[in-house]
Structure 1
Amino acid sequence: MDITSVNYFSEFNCNTEIIMGNHSVQKVSEIIKNGGFSHALVVCDEGIEKAGILDVILQQLNKAYIQGTVFSSVEANPSTLTVEACYKVLQESNADIIIGVGGGSSLDVAKAVSILGTNGGEITDYEGINKVPKRGMPLIAIPTTAGTASEITIFTVITDHDREYKFTVGSRDLSARWAIIDPVLTLSLPPGLTASTGLDALVHAIESYISKKAFMISEVLALKAIELISSSLRTAVHSGDDLNARYNMLYGSLIAGLAFNNTRLGNVHAMSHPLSAKYNVPHGIANSILLPHVMEFNRVANPKKFSDIAIAMGAVSTDEGTELSRSFEAINAVKHLSNDIGIPATFEGYNISEQSINEMANDAMESGNILVNPRKTTKQDLINLFLKCTPTQSIKLPVSN
């Protein structure tokens, strides 16, 4: 990095105590005892209940001799209605600590409810950045997917169905107090979810690495995350009981989260949110399909970093070709990885309409992630990118305000 050519100032934030290791979920009872808590609200989805992971958490509550109330109605792309329902359960239970366990959806709901527990109101009251007056309730975040890194980020993303809009709340006061990273809990994750959440983590790492806000600490974390994820994801998908691959995936997801927590992301996330809000495309799938197309768009803005990505993914070595030629290999490496783990190439099957592409481009332009994307982006650029990965790709839409 040439520090004379940039505003050389950075600030690294992580407000969460991270506990990582096989069977580290056993630390839940210790945290509860040390904090003197008396009642826990456990936030999860039905899959966590069916997989037996909820029983593991409840055993920890019994070990700590406290009561527990379970809210297990979290859906993919959770809505404001789900947050309201969970908050009502929190109020009725008088819980004094929240435990979020599951994928990003469950953790996002747990984080949203934690700030309502101390600030009241509705979650839409805090839409935007730094609008949370007081830190949320004590929260233990336990991921069971290697994807979102919601366990350590300052963001929660919720869908408002009335607006068909996925909005972000971002604040240091939103962070979980503790994150427990236990690879054993991810062993039961099905191949499809392993693939889509794992690619989501790779998107986090890549978008953080090429972000306009990237700096030395975030770059080191992001590049290491790219290396870990790209070398472990195939094994995690096709040999799900490989604990080493699961550990590396969670580690990669975690440090990618530490990176983008400080840099934000880019066009992939700006575009994926309206896809989820309007068509309920799973977040990981939306990001995975968009990634190679957005990389092709962004590559010219910073070929060196794309060369670095190709090397980190093992696609080329430092002495192969030129920096420019290596930059193309980053895109090819992502395409090969996506194909190997069964990620679809387009949004076929979601019945995306021509009109909604224009609307989704409008929504994406409102995202703060557009501002830190390495290549300046217009609405027409976003329309073109949407078209490249939908069955309507031969149609050219007019730009409208």
Structure 2
Amino acid sequence: MNNIFLMPSKILSGIGAINQLEPHVRNKGDKALIVSDNIMTKIGNVERVSNILDKCGISYEVYDEVNSEPTDVVVEKGVAVFQQTNCKFIIALGGGSPIDAAKAIGFMSVSSGKINDYMGEVINTEIPYLVAIPTTAGTGSEVTQFTIITDTENNVKMLLKGPALMPKLAVVDPEFTVTTPPAVTVATGIDALTHAIEAYTSKRAQPLSDVFALSAIKRIYDNLNVVFKNGQNMQARYEMSLGALEAGIAFNNSSVTIVHGMSRPIGAIFHVPHGVSNAILLAKCLEYAIAGHVTRFAEIAKTIGIYKETMSELEAAQKLVSVIEQFCKTLQVPTLEELKINRDEFYRNLDKMAEDALESGSPANALRNFNKDEIIEIYIKLWE
């Protein structure tokens, strides 16, 4: 079988990597649009980037209104700012939301109609030069060809994809992640862990994606609890940043599966942050998924050091499920009830959520075939 493997043209990584940005943006245009959120502006991270642009003699406009998961409305406003202020390239600074928004803004700045018109299409239109600077260790959006934008009219999270959406430069500097609060550190970290596990257990997995996926799983499993307890541990923050990067590269060349498919409807309908809904679903989905390919899940158990020679592959896979469940509890992942979600309303939306999950296409990538009834069953188990 032949495989294509995609990565950004360049990745700058390491503590203080942001200080190497200058030569990479000098010839990209005379004005940049910095896409971020207002917290990044308040704590000075936007200024760290704008100072570098000042040194280059590059002017800039700041669009820092991506304060939650991006919507079609947020994208439309960003496109207007980009075009009306004559920006030439884009720098995305923040978690997955600003980076996803920046991809969509870049695409729509050179496209007609509305972003909702492009749901499900492969994006090949060349977008303005895009630099992605993640401030969380989670989504891996800095190295992927995907963006998720909420269609506010239909209350659906749209997945857009295509090599053209991949940032040309990723700057992975763990110094930007130190200010991430513990709860956000956990949510984004488990999002990355989910990316890696799903990439490794997808029908679309390939040898190179496997290498990145297993490495990411180990880094994240070994370091997430460390940074949860001590966010100032720079080495652990660096390991988490690398893990999220590796997980992004893995699923960018493989795919996500059942967890992400089921997570998006929870986020769209109940406005639960993406990483949190993934964390809530992870163990329950794995419990069902292991039947698809026990060997692969057993290999993950070996990678994180919970396998014993006396175990069968099935026992190792089952041990993985129980360890991940306890891992999430240790990291204080909230339940749906703790998030104040109304159970009756949740049940009323079961059909829609299951249908939307299947329509996303992600569950079809799992090694086990999931039907609508099974997906509903998993959603119900979240209340146990």
- TM-score interval (norm. to shorter): over 0.9
Q: Equivalents in 2 of 1:186, 1:357: separation in Å?
A: 36
Tell me what 1:293 maps to: 284
Q: Is the 8 A contact 2:124 2:163 kept in 1?
A: no
2:175 counterpart letter in structure 1: V
Tell me what 2:293 maps to: 302
Q: Equivalents in 2 of 1:94, 1:125: separation in Å?
A: 25
2:42 counterpart letter in structure 1: K
Tell me what 2:179 maps to: 188
1:337 counterpart letter in structure 2: F
Q: Is the 8 A contact 1:16 1:152 kept in 2?
A: no
Q: Is the 8 A contact 2:292 2:366 kept in 1?
A: no
- Which of these residues, 217, 221, 225, is aligned with residue 230 of structure 1? 221
Tell me what 1:5 maps to: none
What is the CA deviation profile of residues 106-150 of structure 1, one whole-angstrom value per residue up to 9, with x for unaligned ones? Answer: 0000000111122243212221141x3421110100000010000
Q: Is the 8 A contact 1:313 1:330 kept in 2?
A: no
- Which of these residues, 332, 337, 343, is aligned with residue 327 of structure 2? 337
Cα distance change on mapping 1:308 and 1:347 into 2, 3 Å: farther
For structure 1, the residue ranges without an aligned partner over 5 or more in a row are 1-7, 394-401
Tell me what 1:168 maps to: 159
- Which of these residues, 60, 71, 81, is aligned with residue 52 of structure 2? 60
* 1:219 aligns to 2:210 (yes or no): yes
What is the CA deviation profile of residues 25-65 of structure 1, one whole-angstrom value per residue up to 9, with x for unaligned ones? Answer: 122222121x2521110000122112221111111111111
Q: Equivalents in 1 of 2:39, 2:271: separation in Å?
A: 18
* 1:388 aligns to 2:371 (yes or no): no
Regions of 4+ moved over 6 Å: none
Alignment of 1:236-251 (within 5 A): 236-251=227-242
Alignment of 1:2-401 (within 5 A): 8-33=1-26, 35-130=27-122, 132-317=123-308, 319-348=309-338, 349-352=340-343, 353=345, 354-390=347-383
Q: Is the 8 A contact 1:289 1:347 kept in 2?
A: no
Q: Equivalents in 2 of 1:127, 1:335: separation in Å?
A: 34
Q: Is the 8 A contact 1:77 1:277 kept in 2?
A: no
Q: Equivalents in 1 of 2:161, 2:215: separation in Å?
A: 25
SS in 2 for 1:189: coil
Q: Is the 8 A contact 1:307 1:327 kept in 2?
A: yes
Offset of residue 77 of structure 1: 1.8
Q: Equivalents in 2 of 1:66, 1:110: separation in Å?
A: 19
**Larger deviation: 120-129 or 238-247?**
120-129
Cα distance change on mapping 1:41 and 1:336 into 2, 3 Å: same
Q: Equivalents in 2 of 1:125, 1:25: separation in Å?
A: 36
Q: Equivalents in 2 of 1:315, 1:129: separation in Å?
A: 41
Tell me what 1:396 maps to: none
TM-score normalized with structure 1 length = 0.92
1:372 counterpart letter in structure 2: N
Q: Equivalents in 2 of 1:373, 1:155: separation in Å?
A: 18
Tell me what 1:3 maps to: none
SS in 2 for 1:237: helix
2:312 counterpart letter in structure 1: T
Q: Equivalents in 1 of 2:38, 2:21: separation in Å?
A: 21
2:216 counterpart letter in structure 1: A
**Larger deviation: 242-251 or 341-350?**
341-350
2:69 counterpart letter in structure 1: N
What is the CA deviation profile of residues 190-246 of structure 1, one whole-angstrom value per residue up to 9, with x for unaligned ones? Answer: 111000000000000000110011121111111111000000000111110111111
Q: Is the 8 A contact 1:310 1:333 kept in 2?
A: no
Q: Equivalents in 2 of 1:79, 1:48: separation in Å?
A: 19
What is the CA deviation profile of residues 82-116 of structure 1, one whole-angstrom value per residue up to 9, with x for unaligned ones? Answer: 00011111111101110000000000000001111
Q: Equivalents in 1 of 2:96, 2:377: separation in Å?
A: 29
Offset of residue 313 of structure 1: 2.0
Query: How many residues are aligned here?
Result: 381
For structure 2, the residue ranges without an aligned partner over 5 or more in a row are none
Q: Is the 8 A contact 1:273 1:283 kept in 2?
A: yes
2:366 counterpart letter in structure 1: N
In angstroms, what is the RMSD of aligned CA positions?
A: 1.3
